Structures are given as structure tokens and as C-alpha cells.
Structure 1
Amino acid sequence: MTHRPDPIRAHPGRRSRSDRARQVADVLRQQIAQGAVAAKLPAEAVLQREFSVSRNSIREALEILRREGLVDRLPGVGTVVRRPKLEHTIAATRGLAASLRGHGTVVNEVRTAGQVRPPTAVAAALGLEPGAHVCYIERLRRVDGEPISLDLTYLPLDIGTALLQADLETEDLFALIERAADDRLTTVSINLDAVNADEHCAALLGVTPGSALLVLQRATRLSDGAPACLEFVRMRGDRITLRMSAPAT
């Protein structure tokens, strides 16, 4: 029998300052997102004792959060929370607008809405034959006037036609779908990617080109399994954090 040596593991004490700073930043970022940190972070000395790392590691961690736009470092004041991210809980029957309403006034700017002939892949995702028309809705979502996401939504005609006459600026899209279909949304398939904002999208969302965006692709179905909509939602990575819970399998 061939002897396999035990894997080599780095000793915890030999880890770099940047490794430790990253660990600290991850915990602080979560605390800020959950509202556990109010207006101001504890002093560097307090954080140093809490995380058992050097003062330089703490300062590097705080600089990471500053570059992410989560905190400001103010001389004579300390590290203050700039603005916590807006939390979106991913669920089959909960759209982004529903998650954001508790954070301010949500308005959807409808950039276009009508019937289109979609790409073959979109038609297939909606259970349609190639060449079939669908309803297409594109909205720029704002919270208290600040652009947060760009939503591209495809719907079968039997559902989408009714939505074209609805109040797409203020009403939740999922609620409108359930009303039009007279059925419940029950299942969802989600893909999530991180991309860099192109110049056009960056201008719409009020960020610099190359900024981090989260792209949520979500296919939602009704209780009988029929496809209800296919969404591509571009969200600002500096303003939105995603949350999801699922039972253990």
C-alpha cells in the first residue's frame, strides 16, 4: 500500500496581514448588512482585541470596506457607516421591489414595454416555439431617486398582455403576474453572476464603467408548472446584498 503523506497546512500564526484583514472585513461587512453596527464602528483598539489581530490588519480591513463604499474614515471621529446595503431576499414570490420597500420609496421607470420576438433560448425557457412572440418589459428601479437595478423581463402573451396595461411603475411585478394568471407563483430557478458594468449600463445605474454588478437570472413558474416569466436583473454590487435560505438536503 502506498503511503500518502498528510497534507501540509499552514500554521495559523504564519498567515499574512492581508489574509487576516480579509477575514475581519468579511465579518464587519456582514454586521453592517444586518444592521448590527449602527452609525459608527468600534475603535481600532477594540476591534483589535475582538479579532485578535494586529492594528495594521484592522486598518487594512477598514480600508477594504472604505473602498467598497461601506464606511468613511474620518480623522478625529473614527470609522462611520456610510450606508448599509439594501437587502434582497431571493424567493419565488418575492421580487426585488418588495424587498426594497422598507428602505425607501421604490419607483420603476418603464423604459420599454411591448411585444417582441425573443431569442430562441428565451422562447424555450418560456415553453414556446421558436418565433413565438412574448411580452418584454424593461424597467430602471430607483429607491428614493437613486438607481439600483435594471430589470429585463420576458413573459408569455397570455400573462404579459394584461401587465402592459397595469401600473408597472409602482406595483410589484410578481403580484401582477399572479393576478393576471389567477394562480400562485411557486417555483423558481436562479442563476447569479458577477459582471462589470458596460458604459451604457453604468450610465443608467449611476456608477463608473467597470463597476461590479450582480446579474440575477430568474425563471419563475406557476403552481401547475407553467412558465410565468424570465428575468435578467442587473443590480449594483455596491448597493445590494442578496440573502437566501434553504432547507438542508
Structure 2
Amino acid sequence: MPNQTDPLDARRPPTATRRRRADDARVVADVLRRGIDRGDRIGAIDESALTTEFDVSRNTVRDALAILSAEGQIDRSPRVGTHVVRRKAEHGIDALRGLQETLRGLGEVHNEVRVATVLRAPAAVARRLEMSPGDDVVYIERIRRLDDEPISLDLTYLTPDVGIPLLEHDIENTDVFTLLERVSGTRLHSAEQSVEAACADPHSAANLDVPSGTALLLIERLTRLGPTARPVDLEYLRLRSDRISLHATAFRDPQPIGEPR
């Protein structure tokens, strides 16, 4: 009689390959990190409970907690135990909000204005803002602080029709987005954003109070204004990756992209 294969066998996943302890520790650290940032995990952390939750060894959990301790999110003490001491502030990039708006409730955002002037636009900036080569732009450089800690170094180029009136307002205590709508009398339309990792150069490191070479989040954002969606604001934002995490909600395209292979 020919051998018959159980049809369920074809649907059973293959036996999982045993992972190294370092791989398991990274998985545990990643899940815990996001839980801390969202506020799901606060206060004391029970190591024994984590071994059960993740089905890993006690040493794996300790390796994961060592990662988070080195990042400054938890504190481990022989007498006190393990406690969450700091969470990252979530910066939503799927909504057009300034830093003060998006971090509301997490602390006070203060702006230290380093430069606010009119200068000739670099050629690349002029192209992005759909201006002519050699045109003037308003340039603003700010250090953004959450409470008293520097978290972002912002370089902003504005078209002069909105940038020059904006300089007459309180740019130390107000988001540029808020002021753009105030001086133009119209709502912002949209923004194109790109995010990448960048190492802190000596100047950025000094302003953000981190060691040179520290990994930062670099955002390029081109903001458009009004019903015509004309570009008026080009920004380069360097954010401390140890204090800020980026958040967005993505939706599946309603139209099929292509037939499955």
C-alpha cells in the first residue's frame, strides 16, 4: 500500500532553528524598549516574569536588560532591583505638527535660537523651495529642549514672503508651523519627509550634549502651504535617538499592487 502523507504535514512549520542567546536577548530588548516608550511598562521590572513571558533563560533576560541599561532606559541595582527610569518621547511623523504640539504632555519644549537671519539660498535649497538661484531665504537655527535637555538641532530655510514676517514673532516659544499659519493666514497643506541615521558631527554633538559620533535621527522635511501646496519651509532636523522615537501609522494601498506570484 503506498505511503500516504498527512495533508496537515505540509502546513506544519519546519522545526525552528535554535537561536543564540545574543539573538534572544536582542528580541527581548526590542520588545521591552517599545513597551517602555509607549508607557506600557513602568516602575519595577520582574526578571522572573520575563523569563516566562519570553520563554528564555534568566541569563538571556539579564543580557537584554544590560542592553537597556546601557541605553539609559532602566536602572539595575542589587538592592533596589530593576526599574524603568526613562522613556523616549514619541514624535509622530504621520501628522503635520510641530515639536511642541507632538510632545505636549511629556514636558516643556523650549527653543534656543542660535541664528535667525536672511541669506542667499544654497542652490540645492533654492531648487527644493522652487526659487531662483541666488534668491534670499530666511535661515533659522534652533536647539530644541525638552524641559532642560537638548533633544533636537533644527536648521530651517523659509521663503522670504513668509519667513521675514515670521521673524517678528516669538520664535523662541512658538513652533514654526504655528507661526507659518499665523503670518500667512492659511493652513499648512502637507510635508514630504525622509528619515535616515546620521552620526553626530562635533558641532551637532556639542549642541545636543552627546559624544561625537553618536547615532542621531536626521529628518529632511519639505513643508507646503495653502491650497496651492507651494513649498515654503525646508528643514533638516537632527534628533537624539536616545530621547526621541518616531511614530507613524501606515495604511495598505486600497488598489492591488500586482498579482501574487
The residue type equivalent to 1:219 in the other structure is: L
> Cα offset for 1:196?
1.3
* Cα distance in structure 2, aligned partners of 1:221 and 1:91: 15
| 2:175 corresponds to 1:172 | yes
Tell me the secondary structure at the aligned position of residue 37 of structure 1. Answer: coil
Residue equivalent to 1:237: 241
Residue equivalent to 2:110: 107
Aligned length: 240
Distance 1:102 1:164, change over 3 A: same
The residue type equivalent to 1:31 in the other structure is: G
Residue equivalent to 1:31: 35
Tell me the secondary structure at the aligned position of residue 102 of structure 1. Answer: coil
The residue type equivalent to 1:225 in the other structure is: A
Residue equivalent to 1:21: 25
> Cα offset for 1:236?
0.6
Tell me the secondary structure at the aligned position of residue 251 of structure 2. Answer: coil
The residue type equivalent to 1:40 in the other structure is: A
Residue equivalent to 2:160: 157
> Cα offset for 1:91?
3.8
Residue equivalent to 2:127: 124
The residue type equivalent to 2:250 in the other structure is: A
The residue type equivalent to 1:71 in the other structure is: I
Q: Which has the larger radius of gyration?
A: 2
> Cα offset for 1:92?
4.9
* Cα distance in structure 2, aligned partners of 1:244 and 1:202: 27
* Cα distance in structure 2, aligned partners of 1:91 and 1:226: 20
> Cα offset for 1:141?
0.8
| 2:98 corresponds to 1:95 | yes
Q: Is the 8 A contact 1:216 1:232 kept in 2?
A: yes
Distance 1:155 1:10, change over 3 A: farther
Deviations along 1:107-147, whole A, 9 cap, x unmatched?
10110101111211111110101111111111111121111
Normalised TM-score (structure 1): 0.92
Normalised TM-score (structure 2): 0.88
The residue type equivalent to 2:47 in the other structure is: E
The residue type equivalent to 2:146 in the other structure is: V
> Cα offset for 1:10?
8.6
Tell me the secondary structure at the aligned position of residue 61 of structure 2. Answer: helix
Residue equivalent to 1:40: 44
Provide runs of 4+ in structure 1 moved above 6 Å: none
Match of 1:83 among 83, 86, 89: 86
The residue type equivalent to 1:164 in the other structure is: L
Provide the alpha-carbon RMSD of the alignment: 1.5
Which segment drifts farther, 74-83 or 236-245?
Answer: 74-83
Q: Is the 8 A contact 1:198 1:210 kept in 2?
A: yes
What does residue range 49-68 of structure 1 map to in structure 2 within 5 Å? 49-68=52-71
Residue equivalent to 1:3: none
> Cα offset for 1:11?
4.8
Deviations along 1:153-176, whole A, 9 cap, x unmatched?
001011101111110011111011
Tell me the secondary structure at the aligned position of residue 101 of structure 1. Answer: coil
Tell me the secondary structure at the aligned position of residue 148 of structure 1. Answer: strand
* Cα distance in structure 1, aligned partners of 2:67 and 2:193: 29
